[in-house]
Copies of this chain bind each other. A is one copy, B any other.
Amino acid sequence: MSVHQRKERERADRERLIVATARELAEQQGWDAVTTRRLAERIEYSQPVLYSHFRGKREIIGAVALEGAAEMAAAVRTAASAADGPRSRVAALARAYLDFAQRNPAVYDAMFQLDGGLAFAHEDTPEPLKDAFAALLESLGGVAGDGVHPGLFTEVFWAALHGLATLTRAGRLPPEHTEWRVELLVDRLAIV
């Protein structure tokens, strides 16, 4: 019985190793460099081992995305709770969001840019994704303004942050005045 448990533990360890290695490789050299061969070589197993843990590359991306969602939710909550007053809390949330996207570009891609095979906006959406949205809602729901549905407001605010994050990182927006853009966004959208 104990042998079986040990094996399961080792298997779970290896699965975590795969996800962590994929993430590391993606952050270092981009997702294009994350091939099944390179990934297998880095974890010191052969390719087919990957397929005994995940259905395919897409599911590995999905696993990185879920990990990232949990971290982002935590980062956003931490930043929001450290601020006082609704205005500065929203601003802190926005900065934390953009900061996370900039510091973990590959993870952010896994979450929103690539196909990780994850369902969104359904009841079968994985818990970490729903929780990440909930983390935004907690701080944003209160500044939606009268008669505006908190969820809808959060969606719009989130979309704006997402747009800033992706356009900036893709070189579509000059990276200089990021802080001013955040200020403008918070000042206009949030009703304090």
The A interface, classified by DSSP as helix, strand, loop or mixed, is helix
Q: How close is A59's CB to chain B, nearest CB, in angstroms?
A: 17
Which residues of chain A from 142 to 192 have a CB within 8 Å of any chain B CB?
A: 148, 152-153, 155-156, 158-164, 166-167, 170-174, 177, 180-181, 184-185, 188-189
A contacts with B, residue count (CB < 8 A): 31
Contact residue among B119, B162, B167, B181 (Cβ-Cβ distance under 8 Å from A152): B181
Give complex CA distance A41, B54 in Å: 35
Q: Is A113 interfacial (CB-CB < 8 Å)?
A: yes
Asked if A121 and B173 make an inter-chain contact with CB atoms under 8 angstroms apart, the answer reads yes
Residues of chain B with a CB closer than 8 A to A112's CB:
166-167, 170, 172
Residues of chain B with a CB closer than 8 A to A181's CB:
152, 155-156, 159
Residues of chain B with a CB closer than 8 A to A160's CB:
156, 159-160, 163, 185
| Closest chain B residue to A184, Cβ basis | B156
Q: Mark A100-134, 1 if CB is under 8 A from B, else 0.
A: 00000000000011000001110000000000000
Asked if A164 and B172 make an inter-chain contact with CB atoms under 8 angstroms apart, the answer reads no
Q: Could you tell me which A residues sit within 8 Å of B by CB distance?
A: 112-113, 119-121, 148, 152-153, 155-156, 158-164, 166-167, 170-174, 177, 180-181, 184-185, 188-189
